[in-house]
Structure 1
């Protein structure tokens, strides 16, 4: 993948297709390549130029010393370097938070945003889960890979898929192979619990669509509705049968939601 020097580091990215530009921002601990499994092929086939990249913290040589402001600055810098402003921006989870802050700080860079698996503040459960993870890291406790996989399945997948025995085994195998979080990913997770940004998000002027996943325990539909109510004119959509990783569990429904919103911009 090509890399570009931005804000004191090399930011790796992929630029695929041609047409109206769309930037996709991944969530905590995941590389931008995750979008290429399902979303990028569909978006490029629909006539979009799609840019994906690795957030600060994902690369093995990333340190644990950065802020939300750094993540937003990286994104803004890449948009400017590629000369694609104003572009559509889609973010999931941490990527949605980056997207919302980008729309606030650099509204001239974006003309449409999609916030998936998103929230405007941490609630009691999200805060407790985040602080528990921080405590594990501070104590130097590394969970066994299989146990870590089970926890990830319980918190990031929909229980509706657990009845498919083989599919669940496949998910657990994938999760088990993932390495434990390094310093960069731990730094991403230290950006949570999320402060209450609902009042600030009332200043977002960019057209916004909030997409929630019905069985998401990390960013439940209630949090999505609260977020959409805070952003002036924002729409909200709930996709059934998926959890926090809805873009992987229900890719066809997610792709349809993205295309419907993006195509509305040109109609």
Structure 2
């Protein structure tokens, strides 16, 4: 791991392998290590250099307690690509990380050669707005759910019915999420960024070859919201992966990795 002084903050990154770089951007509250067990080994085996990042608001990257906007996170990724001397390069984003990538494609298109957007959306629908408001209200009132209960909610909302039927697998995920809940504290600024305006018209200006991956049983970002993004980006490819929840990239990494690497090797659209 390396902490780089990027865009005026300390940004924690990690690099694996050699070859052409692929920058991976995690979702709200997550660290870049969420890609380490599955996407990183597959990319390295395919001859790429995988670069993960902890977004601002997630230690050891600066928490930026004074607050920040989506544009700041976009600026972080742009500055990282420039610092790596890697532009234009391939970029993969998951959930909020995918929204950051979309905005990067609008603001700095010359920095990205190919983009993969997983579990993304181009607007805030009524249900996700209510979910975010609830999370912000609990944070502001100092309400902390018991770690085991919060872990259970992540398994409920993050995985497919197929995974939830695996009793031992569920126990393993509960243990893992419980540990991560106990060692982390949500960033209010990141939570606030979950409320995005309708950006689909702006995405019609994107010219970067793009793949949008949706997960069939995603309760947090339903496939129709991902499809809207793909429909807005000219020439974008869309694929829905069945029997996966929001964390589809760790629930079915073989299918997800094959889709990503196949897209990269296919040369674009």
TM over 0.5: yes
Comparing 61-70 and 205-214, the one that deviates more: 61-70
Residue 85 of structure 1: aligned partner: 87
2:104 aligns with one of 102, 120, 123: 102
Counterpart-to-counterpart distance in 1, 2:268 and 2:179: 42
Residue 12 of structure 2: aligned partner: 12
Counterpart-to-counterpart distance in 1, 2:221 and 2:22: 23
Task: Give the alignment of 1:65-84 within 5 angstroms.
Answer: 65-84=67-86
Residue 224 of structure 1: aligned partner: 226
2:185 aligns with one of 182, 197, 212: 182
Residue 148 of structure 1: aligned partner: 150
Mapped contact 2:200–2:232 kept (Cα < 8 A): yes
| Runs of 5+ consecutive residues of structure 1 not aligned to the other structure | none
Counterpart-to-counterpart distance in 2, 1:52 and 1:123: 29
Counterpart-to-counterpart distance in 2, 1:137 and 1:31: 20
Counterpart-to-counterpart distance in 1, 2:150 and 2:112: 37
Matched, 1:46 2:49: no
Counterpart-to-counterpart distance in 2, 1:18 and 1:179: 33
Q: CA deviation at 1:63?
A: 2.9
Counterpart-to-counterpart distance in 1, 2:178 and 2:17: 33
Q: CA deviation at 1:155?
A: 1.4
Aligned length: 266
Q: CA deviation at 1:266?
A: 7.8
Q: CA deviation at 1:113?
A: 0.5
1:251 aligns with one of 250, 253, 264: 253
Q: CA deviation at 1:8?
A: 2.1
Secondary structure of the structure 2 residue equivalent to 1:74: helix
2:133 aligns with one of 110, 131, 134: 131
Counterpart-to-counterpart distance in 2, 1:16 and 1:142: 36
Counterpart-to-counterpart distance in 1, 2:188 and 2:256: 28
Structure 1 consecutive aligned stretches of length 4 or more whose deviation exceeds 2 Å = 179-183
CA RMSD of aligned residues (A): 1.5
- Superposed CA deviations along residues 72-121 of structure 1, whole A, max 9, x for unmatched, are 11100010011001001110001100100111111110111010010111
Comparing 15-24 and 106-115, the one that deviates more: 15-24
Secondary structure of the structure 2 residue equivalent to 1:129: helix
Secondary structure of the structure 2 residue equivalent to 1:177: helix
Give the TM-score normalised by the residue count of structure 2: 0.95
Residue 59 of structure 2: aligned partner: 59
